[in-house]
Amino acid sequence: MTTRIERAQAATRDAGIDALLLTPGANLRYLSGYAAKALERLTCLILPASGEPVLVAPQLERAAAVASGLTVDIATWQESEDPFALVKSLLPTSASTIGLDDQMWAARVLALAEALPSMRQVLAGPLLRELRMRKDADEIAALRDAGAAIDRVHERMDEWLRPGRTEREVGADIGRAIIDEGHEHVDFIIVGSGPNGASPHHEVSDRVIERGDPVVVDIGGTNQAGYCSDSTRNYLAGGEAPIAYMDAYRVLFEAQSAQRAHARPGVTAESVDRIGRDIITAAGYGDQFMHRTGHGIGQETHEEPYIIEGNDRELEPGMAFSIEPGIYFDGHFGARIEDIVVCTESGIECLNNQPRELVVLD
């Protein structure tokens, strides 16, 4: 069976790149299994287009790299040594083009340019994202586990979300539950009550939740396997929701349902966005749907494929992404329904299965 490293090397050769240099982040973990810390000391995986990869790491991080189950050779450097000179010495002598991790710190990029003045630098992202976009069975199982874990947190929302508590207090409880229910760490918590729900990336605040407030709860974490969860549900903190909110919510529910029904291999990413956006626009809420329908997910919460107008890529089995239309009225309220789905051979598997209807917490 071809390994991830072998597939990455083949893609590197096809792109005319001599070696990839990957610093701590999702790409390094995807290829090596090592979730290296992003520190001021250089850690860098050197992946030549042909030949054996090697991890450059500080001596004091060697034990952590070995403990991760890393199977590539490790070249360590001491505190008084120049790690960029070590990288240069380990690159193929014929190398003229190197692919750098898209999220490599600018200081690293400039230091490599100084150490390797004759080398052309290009982005490694375009070729690696093609590999990471299509999840294998183990990755889908890890995403399924993460999705079930975040569903269990949503299922417990009535333990914490009620009038008289602040968004911050509710968010702290949610954070503990994200860990308790099977994540290794918390990635984000959005508790948007009342008018704060109209800000899609609101986090938490000291606003006291009031009876009758619609509340957007968007939460996610990363599990031990390194895969992310992300799910949004909507709650009513007792009482009755405003009529205008319920009118908008019915349209949102219809749009998200239509998008899930439409998504399958062979349709384009933009068509999934369009079918929901058309429903929302026809109902008069087009200007209140201000973002794309979704994003890919894996070892990062946001990765390819993006479900947005203009992306004519056809969906394929193994692609995992969110379907999350929203309607937002600035100063009043907002709502978003979000599921993570995975393309199967003939349709999709939905990894989030908590109720999508407005949940009333009395």
Backbone torsions φ then ψ of 135, nearest 5 degrees: -80, 140
Under a CB-based contact definition with an 8 Å cutoff, are residues 125 and 101 in contact?
yes
How does pLDDT run along the chain (362 residues), one tens digit per residue? 579 999 999 999 999 999 999 999 999 999 999 999 999 999 999 999 999 999 999 999 999 999 999 989 999 999 999 999 999 999 999 999 999 999 999 999 999 999 999 999 999 999 999 999 999 999 999 999 999 999 999 999 999 999 999 999 999 999 999 999 999 999 999 999 999 999 999 999 999 999 999 999 999 999 999 999 999 999 999 999 999 999 999 999 999 999 999 999 999 999 999 999 999 999 999 999 999 999 999 999 999 999 999 999 999 999 999 999 999 999 999 999 999 999 999 999 999 999 999 999 98
Distance, CA of 196 to CA of 182 (rounded, Å): 28
Residue with structure tokens 């992300």?
A: 230
Cβ–Cβ under 8 Å, residues 136 and 318: yes
Would strands 19-22 and 97-100 be described as parallel, antiparallel, or unpaired? Answer: parallel
- Residues 6 or more apart whose Cβ sits within 8 Å of residue 63: none
- Of how many residues is the chain composed? 362
Q: How far is CA 235 from the centre of its chain?
A: 24
Alpha-carbon separation of residue 220 from 132, 183, 186, 188, 352 (angstroms): 20, 9, 6, 6, 12
Question: CA 83, CA 328: separation in Å to the nearest integer?
Answer: 49
Tokens representing 22 are 């990957």
In the chain the first and final C-alpha atoms are separated, in Å, by 54
Angle at the Cα of 50 (from 47 to 55), degrees rounded to 5?
Answer: 25
| H or E element at residue 323 | strand 320-323
User: What does pTM read for this prediction?
Assistant: 0.95
- Pairwise CA distance, residues 8 & 101, whole Å: 13
